[in-house]
């Protein structure tokens, strides 16, 4: 029988959890404060459910102690009046999950199941690093353009990134958790159990960023994170967040570093079937057009056509693995004209635009530093294409060619590909 230590100063919460967890077959230990929790941790529970707000010793301090003395003991943090800073700190200290009160018992049980499952998997694999499969063979990242099936993969541990939302302007962040096979990429509210899968059927807005929406929960500006997850071959992950994915420096470099830290783990079971393009598809709107055609691999050929001082830029990106994405596309930052940001601000958007998270273009060129590539703008458009095409839900084998397109055109094409696969 697995034993769970519940640490909360509210007796009615301990009573409720005791009943539910006992019904689920767990042994339950209880503590109403940090000092009693210290004593019970010596009895070697299998998991700790820990409230942040405790008398005498706060939950974050206790979490630090637990991770120092019992690094393998999974801890789920529960907290009323949560914010992203508390979630970020708890996750960086090693918490298996962060759940805001009032929480649903179903969400807590799912979190417990994930935490105990990951702990058992880690014990079974011993000291293998996160990018080593269970059979001891080193995991190779599959190219999205490969035919057949791609192995399912998740991340090796929970990781976190925080910053400011580009359009909302609020302090925000993401917490990435490993998930079992067949979960997919799912965005979930930090405050509730509401979630939305990263699939095109839930694409709600494609104006200046891509937003997913379901049942009252929206995940905004998801494209850079999705591009990175897909390029690293991650198929199963839970992304906890508040409203908008942080802009960071306007590129996907920090998300690459996040996945480097987490590691990528190959999972057992059936793989994810590649979408093999068998005929030419076209989305066209005035001078903007996008095609997807058969190709032995995965290529994005993009032509950007902007007014001076940008002009026309062209780049062909051929995916050969995560390093090709990291080197050629991930560093390219969000960009915009100064007058455009002024207009967006008047519409209530781009409230988080700063000199360090986007490239600003004035009448004579870039006004806030040096470009990372001479053609950084077209490379960023390819980054957006990769993120939006991740909403297909599986790797694509084909050639994407686009001119002067945006999120709207990308999502329209993905919808067409899904419809074609259903017939």
Shortest CA distance to 48 belongs to which of 111, 125, 107?
111
DSSP 13: H
Q: How far apart are CA 211 and CA 204, in angstroms?
A: 6
Q: Which of 218, 244, 270 is the last residue of a domain?
A: 270
Whether residue 407 lies in the annotated active site:
yes
pLDDT tens-digit readout, 304-336: 999 889 999 999 999 999 999 999 999 999 988
pTM of the model: 0.79
* 199: containing domain: 149-270
Q: What does the buried/exposed string (b/e) look like for 46-70 if buried means 16 or more CB atoms within 10 Å of the residue's CB?
A: bbbbbbbebeebebbebbeebeeee
Listing from the earlier edge strand, what are the strands of the sheet with 211-214? 203-205, 211-214, 217-219
DSSP 274: P
> Is 165 a residue whose pLDDT tops 70?
no
pLDDT for res 118? 63
**Structure tokens belonging to residue 131:** 């990018």
Does residue 228 lie within any of the structural domains? yes
Q: What is the CA radius of gyration of the chain?
A: 23
Of the residues 15, 407, 409, 423, only one is catalytic, namely 407
Does residue 135 lie within any of the structural domains? no
Region at 292 (left for phi over 0; alpha for psi -120 to 50; beta for the rest): beta
Q: Which of 270, 291, 325 is the last residue of a domain?
A: 270
Helix residue spans in 43-189 (DSSP H): 59-69, 84-92, 105-125
Does residue 140 lie within any of the structural domains? no
Residues 306 and 318 in one domain: yes
Instruction: Provide φ and ψ at 262, rounded to 5°.
Output: -75, -35
Residues 299 and 416 in one domain: yes
Lowest mean pLDDT among 7-11, 165-169, 207-211: 165-169
Residues 415 and 283 in one domain: yes
Residues 208 and 257 in one domain: yes
163's enclosing H/E stretch is strand 159-164
pLDDT tens-digit readout, 229-266: 999 999 999 999 888 999 899 999 999 999 999 999 99
State how many domains the chain has.
Answer: 3
């Amino acid at each position: 029988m697995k034993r769970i230590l519940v640490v909360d100063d509210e007796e009615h919460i301990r009573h409720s959890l005791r009943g539910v967890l006992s019904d689920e077959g767990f042994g339950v230990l209880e503590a109403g404060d940090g000092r009693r929790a210290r004593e019970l941790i010596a009895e070697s529970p299998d998991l700790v459910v820990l409230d942040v707000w405790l008398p005498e010793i706060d939950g974050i301090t206790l979490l630090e102690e637990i991770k120092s003395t019992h690094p393998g003991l999974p801890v789920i943090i529960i907290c009323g009046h949560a914010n992203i800073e508390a979630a970020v700190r708890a996750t960086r200290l090693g918490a298996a999950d962060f759940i805001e009160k009032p929480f649903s018992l179903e969400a807590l049980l799912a979190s417990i199941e994930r935490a105990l499952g990951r702990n058992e998997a880690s014990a079974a694999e011993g000291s293998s690093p996160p990018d080593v499969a269970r059979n001891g063979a080193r995991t190779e990242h599959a190219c999205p353009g490969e035919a057949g099936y791609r192995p399912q993969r998740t991340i090796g541990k929970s990781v976190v990134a925080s910053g400011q939302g580009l359009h909302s302007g609020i302090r925000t962040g993401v917490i990435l958790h490993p998930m079992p096979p067949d979960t997919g990429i799912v965005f979930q509210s930090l405050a509730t159990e509401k979630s939305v899968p990263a699939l095109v059927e839930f694409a709600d807005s494609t104006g200046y960023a891509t937003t997913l929406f379901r049942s009252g929960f929206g995940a905004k500006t998801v494209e850079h994170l999705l591009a990175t997850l897909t390029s690293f071959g991650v198929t199963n992950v839970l992304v906890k967040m508040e409203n908008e994915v942080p802009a960071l420096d306007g590129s996907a470099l920090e998300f690459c570093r996040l996945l480097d830290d987490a590691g990528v783990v190959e999972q057992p079971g059936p793989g994810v079937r590649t979408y093999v393009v068998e005929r030419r598809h076209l989305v066209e709107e005035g001078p903007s057009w996008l095609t997807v055609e058969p190709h032995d691999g995965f290529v994005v050929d993009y032509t950007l056509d902007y007014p001076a001082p940008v002009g026309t830029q062209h780049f062909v990106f051929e995916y050969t693995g995560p390093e090709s994405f990291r080197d050629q596309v991930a560093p390219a930052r969000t960009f915009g004209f100064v007058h455009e940001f002024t207009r967006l601000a008047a519409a209530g958007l781009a409230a988080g635009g700063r000199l360090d998270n986007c490239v600003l273009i004035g009448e004579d060129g870039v006004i806030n530093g040096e470009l990372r590539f001479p053609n950084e703008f077209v490379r960023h458009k390819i980054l957006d294409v990769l993120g939006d095409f991740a909403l297909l839900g599986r790797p694509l084998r084909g050639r994407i060619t686009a001119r002067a397109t945006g999120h709207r055109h990308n999502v329209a094409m993905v919808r067409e590909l899904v419809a074609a696969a259903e017939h």
